[in-house]
Structure 1
Amino acid sequence: MFNVLLVDDEANVLESMENLVPWADHGVGKVFKAASGAEALAVMEGNIIDIVISDINMPEMSGLELVKQIKDRWKRARCILLTGHADFEYARQAISHNIAGYLLKPISDDEIVASLQMVTEQIRLEVNEENTYQRAVQALRENLPRLRGELLFGLLQGSRMSPEKLVRRMELLELEIKEKDSFALMLIRLEEELTDYDYQSMSLLEYAIGNMAEEIFGDRFQLWTTKDLHDYMVFVVTVKDGKKLDSDDSLLQRLAAQLQQSVKHYLKSKISVLNSRWGHFPSELAPQYQKAVCAFRSQIGSEREMFTSMTGDDASQSEVGSLLRLYELPLLHHLLEAGNWQAVEKKLDSVLEELDEKWVRSKEYIVTTFFSLYSSFGQFAHKSRIELSEIIGSDLVGTDDLLPARSVQALRRWAHQTLGKIREHSELVTASSRDTTIKRIQDFVQQNLNGDVSLQKIADDLGTHPVHVSRVYKLEKGENLSEYITRLKMEKAAHLLMASTDKIYEISLELGYLNPNYFIKVFKKYYGLTPQDYRQRR
C-alpha cells in the first residue's frame, strides 16, 4: 500500500480531496494532510510518504520550493502539483524538478485518480524492475557454472545461434573465448565402479575433478566444462592469451596425464582421458566433439583408466555420417510440445534440406528420417492422449507401404501435410480450452459480484496467473475483464434502482462499492445519469 500526502493552504480543498477520492480502491493505505510546506516537510520526516500532491501557490514556501526540498531529501517520493496558473513557466520549472504530474485547478476527482494511477503504476514498475534486476544478478552469480555448462552442452550438440547472440551470451556468462580462438577438447570418463555412488557423491567428485583441473591447467590454459549425454566430463581448453604455441600440444598432453594421476592419488578414483586435436571456436566445436566421442569409443572402448589423444587419422576423418540437423537441439518433439509452430517449420525445413543436400540417394537415410519424424509426431499426439492416426487420418499414416519414404520430395510433402493436420488439431484444442476458461471466469464473477472479483481472486480460483486471465479474456471477448465486471455491476445496479426501494448507499454496498460517492460517479459515467436521476425515470 502507498502513503499519500496532500498539501494545500485551503482547508476546503484538502477536505474535498481527502473525502471524494476512493484512495483505498487505488492502493493507498494512509492519507496525510498538511496546510503548508513546512508542515509537509515535518510529516515527511516522521512518515514514509510515496506520493505528494501539493498546491503550487502557497504562502511562505511555494509548491515548487517544497518539491525541490523533497527531491533533495527523499529521492523516491513522487510529486504531483496542483495550480490555477496555466503558465508555461510553471510547467517548465515543474518539469525541471522531475514532477510526476501537473494538474490545473479546478480539478475533478477523476483527474486526481488518473494521475494517482499513473504514478502508482510507475512506482510499481520501478520497484519490480529493481527487484527483478537484483534477483537476476544474484541468480546469475549463483548459477554461473551451471549456465556456462548448459551453453556448452548446447553448442556441443550443434545448437545454432547467430554470432551476435553467441557473443552476448558469452559476455553475460563472463567467458573469454572469442571467435576463431584455438581450442582443444578433453573428455573424461569416470570409471564404472563409480556408478555405485549416489547423485550427491558423484556431483561432489565431479566438482573436485573440475577444481583439480583448474589448478593443474590454470597457469597456461583456461577451461570451460560441462557434462554430456554420455556422462563424460567435457572440457574446452583454450590458451589464456589467445596465441597458441607449438609447445602447447605437448604441454596439454602432460597436464592431462598429470590430472589423471592426481585424481587417482588424491581422490582415490580412476578416470579415462582423451584429448582432441586443436580446432577453431565456434565453427569446429560440434564436429570436433563428434569426432572425439567416436575416437573415445574406438580407441578406449570398455578399457579402464586409459589415456589417449586423437591421432592424425582420427582428426582427418570425414564428418560423422549422421543426420546432424535431425538430432541437434532443440529436438523436433520439444518444439512440438512448446507449440512453437514457426520454429517447428524451420526445423523441419532444415532437416529436409540437409537430407536433400547430402543423402538424397540414400534410401536408408530417408527411411530413418521418416521414422524419426513419425516418432516425434506420434509422441506429441500420445502426450495429448490421442493416437496420431486420429489426427492425421489413415491416408497420411504411411507406415505400411512406406510411400512417404520413397524420396525426399515425397517425405517433404508428407511431413508438411502431417504437420498441418497436427497444428489444426492443436489450435482447436486450445480454442476449446479457452472457451472453458472464459466460462469459468464469467461464472465466478456472476456468483461473487457483490464480493471480491479482483483479477487476483479470479486467477486464484482458476489456479493460474492474473496476467494469463486478463490476456485470455481480452483475446477471446474483445473487452477487458474489468469492463465486463463494471458492465455486470451497472446492469444489476440499474435493475435494483428500478425494481427495489433500496437506498442508493445500500445498492452501492451490495455491489461491493464501499464508497457510495465513487459508486455514483461510476454509474453516471456508464449511464450518463446519477442513480437518483435514473430511478426518477421509473
Structure 2
Amino acid sequence: MITLLLVDDEPMLLKSMAANGWERIGIECVLQASSGLEAAEILKTTSVDLVVTDIRMPGMDGLQLCKHIQERYPRTKCILLSGYGEFEYARDAIRYGTANYLLKPVKDEELIDEVARVKSLIERERERIGSFEEARRTLHVHLPLLRSNLLIELLAGNSGSHSELARKMDEYRLPFELGRECAMLLIRLDGGFGESDEDSMLYEFAVHNIAGELLESDFHVWSCKDSYGYLCYVLQAKTTDRGSSGSRIHDATLDRTAQELQAKVFGYLKGRISVLIGSPCRLPEQVAEPYRQSLNAIRKVPRSERGIVVRAEESRPRIAPLHSLYSPPSFQQLLEAGRWADARVKLSSVFEELRAKKLDTEEHMLEIVCSLTNSFLYIAHLQSKTLMELSGLEADQASDPRRLSQSGRVAEWAGKLLDSLESVSVRELKDAKNQLIVKIHRFIEERIAEDVSLQKIADHVKLHPAYLSSLYKQEMKENISDFILRYRMEKAGILLRATDIKIYELASRMGFQNPPYFSKLFKNYYGVTPQEYRDRYQAES
C-alpha cells in the first residue's frame, strides 16, 4: 500500500487535491498537512511513501521539507508544486532528491499522472529492494553450508583459480588471507554422545558450537564435516593472536587449544573427543595433501583410544590384517553352506581378535564391512536377488562409512544382516542335498588332520562312495578331493602367516605324514614352498 502526504498552506487547494480520487491509481491512504512543520511531525509517526508539497509556505518551506525528508527518510519521494519557474528552484529541488517539479496551476489529471508515475517507481524499487533483501537473507541462512561445501572442495584439491576463490571467500565473509599459513584440526567423537543417529547429530552440533566459540577467540575459523564424519577445522592466526608470531601458529598453542577443547566438551557434554593436529599448510594450494595425511593418520587410531590428542606426523603401529576374517572356512563358504551358527561364531571370533589386538580402527572397520558385504552380495546373487530384497534396509548402511566406523555398530549391522539372510535362506535351503553338503564339510573340517578319504566320508553320511562323489560334484561343481586339498592349502597358508609353526608340524596338522609331499602339493597350489611363502609374507609386513 502506498501512503501519500499532501502539503499546502492554502486550505482550498489542499482540500481540492485530497478529493482527486486517488484510489483510482491504487493509493488508499491520503494524509494532509497545512505546513512543512506539520508534515515533519506526521513523518515522525507515520511511514509515508510520497509527499506532494507546495514550495512557498511559512515556517518550513517546500525545499526545506524536501531536504528534511532526504536526510531522515531517504526512501520517501517528493513532488514539488510552485508558481515559480526559476532555474534555482529546479536546481535545489534536484539536489534534494525531488522526484519532479510541477508548475502551478497544475491540472488534476496532470498531478494524478505524475503521482502514478512516481508510485510505479516506488513499487519497482520495493521489488528490487525486496529481491535484494531476500537474496541477502537467503545467503545468510545458507552461509554455513556454502562455506562448508567450499572447504570440502579445497580439501579434495579443487581450489580453482585464486581470483575465483578470493571472490567466493569474500562473498561468504571468510576473512582468510590466501598464501598465509594455516593449521588444521580433525575432531573425532569418541564416546558418551548417545547411540542413536539423532543423539549423535545433536551432540555433533553441540561440539561444533563449543569448538567454534573457543577457536574464534584467537583464530579465523573455517569448518566442515567431511565425508568420513570428522569435524574438520582450518585455522589462520588473527593479527592479535597471543600465541602466534606473525602468521605462524605455534605447536604449543594448538596443543593447548586441543586440550582445552577436550576439557570443555567433557565438562558440558560428558563426552570424549580425539583431536588430530595436522601439518601446517598454506591456503589454498597446500591444503589437500595435509588433509589427506591427517585423514590417514586418524584412521589408524583405534576407537578404544579415546580422548587423545595426536599429530599427523606421529608414527603409529603398522596396520595388521585380521587373520580370523580370512581363515577357512571363509564367511562366504559358511553362508553358502547355510551354516548360520558357524557364521555367527566366526563373526564373534573376528570381533574378539579386533578387541584383543586393539585393531578397532576405521581402516579395519572398512575391511570388515567390505569383506562381509561381498559375501552377503554373493549369497544374494546366487539366489537371483538383490541384497536389499533379502535383507531390507540393513544392506544400504554399508554405503555410508560414517554409520559403520565403530566396532559395535559394525557387529550389530552384520548380525542383523545375517539374521535377515538366514530367515529367508533357511526356507530355501532345507532340502536334503544342502544339509548333506553341510554335514560333509563339517566332517572334513573337524578331521582335517586325520584320514578324510571318500570312503570315510561315505561311511559317515551312510551313502555309497560312488553316489556320494557324483552328488557332491553335481551340487558343488568340484570333486570332494578338490575341496579337501583347497581347504588344507588355505588353512596352511593362514597358519604360516599367523603363527611360527614348524613346516613338519604343519604338514601333520593338515593330515600329511610325509612333509616333502605336503611341500610339493603346497608349491603346486601357491607356486612357492611353505618356507618361501612365509618369508615373502614376513618381508611384505
TM-score, structure 1 normalization: 0.45
TM-score, structure 2 normalization: 0.45
**Structure exhibiting the larger radius of gyration computed from Cα positions:** 2
